[in-house]
């Protein structure tokens, strides 16, 4: 059996707070932090919105998977993933075998409240009205939940208890 690295992957739907929680958790642990979307942008030389519009989602997902595997070469790091990362290219199995996965779980209404204010930056919901956004969230979340629920640790993403999460991660990784 492969030994897990000292890597924590933060997963969840777009708008669930993966980057914010990831940064805070990394700071509590004294570890580095990587945002997978920012790493893909750096690799490709374009913003996520440009990659989606110019190259398509399939190209983005391929770059995301390659970049994910590059990032996990670094130990003592927290990586916030994209909302769809666990659902493509065997990424969830890869993350489960190489580190600890943390799912930030929110309800569709909680996600909608967060996304309505940032939808122009999110290619999958760009141009959708409020009713269509809720339909999108409900359908996409139902599609992704089977992957998300495989996570090692599942926490309430609406009001994440970081000290509690830190304790759970330390116990999982047998850190003292």
Gap between the Cα atoms of 147 and 92, Å rounded:
7
Which residues face 7 on adjacent strands? Answer: 77
Closest Cα partner for 159 from 9, 20, 11, 7? 20
Residue 4: pLDDT band by 50, 70, 90 thresholds?
Answer: low
Confirm if 134 and 112 have CB atoms less than 8 A apart.
Answer: yes
Residue 141: pLDDT band by 50, 70, 90 thresholds?
Answer: very high
3-state helix, strand, coil in the chain (%, to 5): 55, 15, 30
With 80 as the cut, is the pLDDT of residue 139 above it?
Answer: yes
Residue 135: pLDDT band by 50, 70, 90 thresholds?
Answer: very high
Instruction: Please give the class, per CATH, of domain 7-169.
Output: alpha beta
Q: How many CB atoms lie within 10 A of CB 62?
A: 14
State the pLDDT at residue 119.
52
Which residues face 100 on adjacent strands? Answer: 8
Mean of all residue pLDDT scores within the chain: 90
Gap between the Cα atoms of 170 and 39, Å rounded:
26
Stretch 39-68: mean pLDDT: 95
Q: Where are the domains of the chain?
A: 7-169
The 10s digit of each residue's pLDDT in 75-125 is 899 999 999 999 999 999 999 999 999 999 999 999 998 888 765 467 778
With 50 as the cut, is the pLDDT of residue 3 above it?
Answer: no
The 10s digit of each residue's pLDDT in 11-22 is 999 999 999 999
| Contacting residues for 24 by C-beta, under 8 A, at least 6 apart | 162
């Amino acid at each position: 059996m492969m030994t897990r690295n000292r890597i924590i992957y933060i997963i969840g739907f777009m708008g669930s707070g993966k980057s914010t929680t990831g940064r805070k958790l990394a700071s509590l642990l004294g570890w580095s932090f990587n945002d997978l979307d920012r790493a893909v942008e750096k690799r490709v030389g374009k913003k996520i919105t440009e990659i989606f519009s110019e190259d398509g989602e399939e190209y983005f997902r391929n770059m995301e998977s390659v970049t994910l595997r590059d990032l996990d070469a670094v130990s003592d790091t927290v990586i916030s993933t994209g909302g769809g990362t666990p659902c493509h290219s065997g990424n969830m199995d890869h993350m489960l075998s190489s580190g600890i996965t943390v799912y930030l779980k929110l309800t569709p209404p909680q996600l909608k409240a967060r996304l309505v204010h940032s939808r122009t930056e999110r290619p999958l919901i760009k141009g959708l009205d409020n009713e269509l956004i809720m339909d999108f969230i409900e359908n996409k979340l139902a599609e992704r939940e089977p992957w998300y629920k495989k996570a090692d640790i599942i926490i309430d993403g609406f009001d994440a208890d970081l000290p509690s999460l830190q304790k759970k991660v330390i116990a999982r990784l047998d850190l003292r």
